[in-house]
Amino acid sequence: TQLLEQSPQFLSIQEGENLTVYCNSSSVFSSLQWYRQEPGEGPVLLVTVVTGGEVKKLKRLTFQFGDARKDSSLHITAAQPGDTGLYLCAGVDNYGQNFVFGPGTRLSVLP
């Protein structure tokens, strides 16, 4: 059983479109991180959210941590081909014991 679920599993869109991907759990997390991984490379940290309801913006990317700290979303505005990659959420459970990654959403932005 995955501690973190991500949806959709795959997403293919045209350049300029907006999109949202989700990270959900039945458990409470003390913090969540979003990473992007490109083929042949390791994941790169995009953001860390620690407070329920927190919203962080990174250029065209908006990250939100759910009020109950069980879910998070990543919204990309006006997607570009350079946004293509595997988006992974990762978090520490509320007991501070386990750091786990979700299975990822594979995004493809077509020019």
68 binds another protein (CB under 8 A): no
Write down the least CB distance from residue 19 to another protein, Å.
Answer: 19
Write down the least CB distance from residue 53 to another protein, Å.
Answer: 17
22 binds another protein (CB under 8 A): no
33 binds another protein (CB under 8 A): yes
Classify the C-alpha dihedral 44-98-48-28 as positive or negative.
positive
25 binds another protein (CB under 8 A): no
